[in-house]
Amino acid sequence: MSLAASLADNPYLLLMIVAGTLIAFGFVVFLAKRYKRCPSNRVLVIYGRVRQGQSAKCLHGGGAFVWPLIQDFDYLYLDPMQIEVPLKGALSAENIRVNVPSVFTVAVGTDAATMQNAAIRLLGLTPQQVMKQAEDIIFGQLRQVIASMGIEEINRDRDKFLEKIQASLEPELQKIGLVLINVNITDITDESGYIEAIGRKAAATAIQQAGIDVAEQEKRGAIGVASAEREKQIQVADADKLREIGVKQAERERSVRIAELEKEKQVGQRAASFEQESQVKEAERQMRISVAEANAKAVTGENKAKADVAVAEATLRVVEAESFQRAETKKREADAAVRQAQYAAEARAAEALAVKVEQEKRAELEAVAKAAKAKQIVDAEAVAEMTRIEAEGQARAIYAKLEAEARGQYEILAKKGEGLQRIVEACGSSQAAFQMLMLEHLDKLSETAAKAISNIKFDKVIVWDGGSGDGKAGAAGFLRSLAGALPPTMQIMKDVGGVQMPDYFGTLVGDDKGEKADKGDKADKGDKGKPPADAGGRAGPTKPA
């Protein structure tokens, strides 16, 4: 039996075959429709049941099968969007309001992270809604960039300005799935006209610089001509001079002039050296006097300041003690009030349990609460009073100690000043007192002077002798005159400081003047040898203390 005869005899089999074919064809068509291909200008977003840990699956190019019932799909368009940003009144770093109208071109990103952010935040939005979100972000970041730059920097370095805009804007746009394609700054102006003034200043500066350059070149040309002419005249004159005077005459004049200049140089150096030494000594003396006066003023001010600090610290301690007393009293009273409230609550609870004995227990509880409150208040006041007394005692002790130290310093300075005043009165004048005090340190000054010249090495000593032939000139006369100066020096020390030096310091053998001076000193020894009496009638010391 053939297949056609079988189908003719069994129509149900034919229907089943036709139905199976239709079902298979429908299933194939259904599967073909569920396979979605992604164009190059779109991003296919499959959402629903996708990979674990992801909310959507994004594809750029290619295709994927979308399972029915558990998955669905949509597209994100990659068309560029131009956003005009008419930014006005943005504050720069100098607080100058700047107008920066610009055009930004953005689009949905195609890298995995950016597509995932776009699928989460932009899927289902219209292009106008996406542009609105991007515009808000651009406004904020552009104002931030302008606030971080000066107006001159914005106007002068546009590349740096654009780089900062891209660096600040791209991370923010990527958070919503967009990327920055292009930035076009149409113009930069300000409300105060600062940029326009900068342009006028630059133009004026360029014009002035051009004029300066022209004048400079003309000046250089004139100077070159004059220099050439001068050099020509000088060379001609020198040639004539050499021809007329000759080589020997020029050498003789040069030698004489060099000798004269060398002599003048040596004389000037010696004069300058002597003058510098005298100025240095005078400056050192003035400096020592100023230092002594400054030290005296500093000690007085320091003692006064210490006394003021002591008074302030004592006052602070008293105030702290009083504050602690008040705080402690308030705390104790608050604790007592809390305990009283607790006791009252216990009393009310006992009243609910035993109504019959309400009056008796209430009286007992109130008596206990009052007694506890009174005890707490008394304890708090006692502790606060003790703390205040201890603080006052400490403050008085610190004040007394500092006051005693200040009085001691004051007494030392007063006694020192009184002693100096008596020395001045005993000497008769401040100059004499100064000389006497200088004699006290004569040994120290001598030691210092000896150290100053101890390391000086003399290669040789030259004595200029006038050649009079009488024996008073030359080295012998120099040493004799040096020794002859010792008696007057000893006499000054005796008259001014009251110091009697040995006779052999001021006596020379064979010198009649020295012998007469010695005899005069011995004759006056009964009067002049005595030290001067001080203001109290007591004899002064025979030598400096």
- Do 329 and 384 lie in one domain? The reply is yes
Query: Considering 36, 52, 74, which residue would you say is the last residue of a domain?
Result: 74
In a domain, 449, yes or no: no
- Do 391 and 310 lie in one domain? The reply is yes
Tell me which DSSP letter residue 414 carries. H
Q: Per residue of the chain (545 residues), give pLDDT as tens.
A: 466 666 666 777 777 777 888 888 877 777 677 778 888 888 988 888 877 667 788 888 788 878 778 888 888 888 999 999 988 888 888 888 888 899 999 999 988 889 989 988 888 888 899 999 999 999 999 999 999 988 888 888 888 989 999 999 999 999 999 999 999 888 888 777 777 667 667 667 777 887 788 878 888 888 888 888 888 888 888 777 777 777 777 777 778 888 888 878 887 777 777 777 777 777 777 777 777 677 767 777 777 777 777 777 777 777 777 777 777 777 777 777 777 777 777 767 666 676 666 667 667 777 787 888 888 888 888 888 888 888 888 888 888 888 888 888 888 888 888 888 888 888 887 777 777 777 777 777 777 767 766 766 655 556 555 555 555 555 566 656 655 555 555 565 555 555 555 554 445 444 444 444 444 444 444 444 444 444 344 444 433 33
Instruction: Report the CATH number that the domain containing residue 105 is assigned in CATH.
Output: 3.30.479.30
In a domain, 310, yes or no: yes
- Do 47 and 65 lie in one domain? The reply is yes
Alpha-carbon span 98 to 92, nearest angstrom = 7
Give the domain range for residue 50. Answer: 3-74
- Do 45 and 88 lie in one domain? The reply is no
In a domain, 489, yes or no: yes
- Other CB atoms within 10 A of residue 447 CB: 11
In a domain, 65, yes or no: yes
Q: What is the model's pLDDT at position 435? A: 74
- Do 29 and 130 lie in one domain? The reply is no
- Do 130 and 68 lie in one domain? The reply is no
Alpha-carbon span 168 to 189, nearest angstrom = 22
Looking at the structure of the chain, the number of domains it has is 4
- Do 411 and 542 lie in one domain? The reply is no
- Do 400 and 300 lie in one domain? The reply is yes
Q: What is the model's pLDDT at position 178? A: 94
Alpha-carbon span 526 to 329, nearest angstrom = 84
- Do 98 and 162 lie in one domain? The reply is yes
In a domain, 235, yes or no: no
- Do 83 and 59 lie in one domain? The reply is no
In a domain, 497, yes or no: yes
Query: Considering 58, 74, 90, which residue would you say is the last residue of a domain?
Result: 74
- Do 368 and 395 lie in one domain? The reply is yes
In a domain, 216, yes or no: no
CA-nearest of 69, 165, 56 to 121 is 56
- Other CB atoms within 10 A of residue 318 CB: 17
3-state SS of the chain: helix, strand, coil percent to 5?
Answer: 70, 10, 20
- Do 108 and 174 lie in one domain? The reply is yes
Distances (CA, A) of 337 to 155, 268, 370: 73, 98, 10
Q: What is the model's pLDDT at position 220? A: 82
In a domain, 247, yes or no: no
Q: What is the model's pLDDT at position 169? A: 92
Q: What is the model's pLDDT at position 3? A: 61
Alpha-carbon span 162 to 164, nearest angstrom = 5
Q: What is the model's pLDDT at position 141? A: 92
Q: What is the model's pLDDT at position 505? A: 47
User: What is the CA 372 to chain-centroid distance, rounded?
Assistant: 61
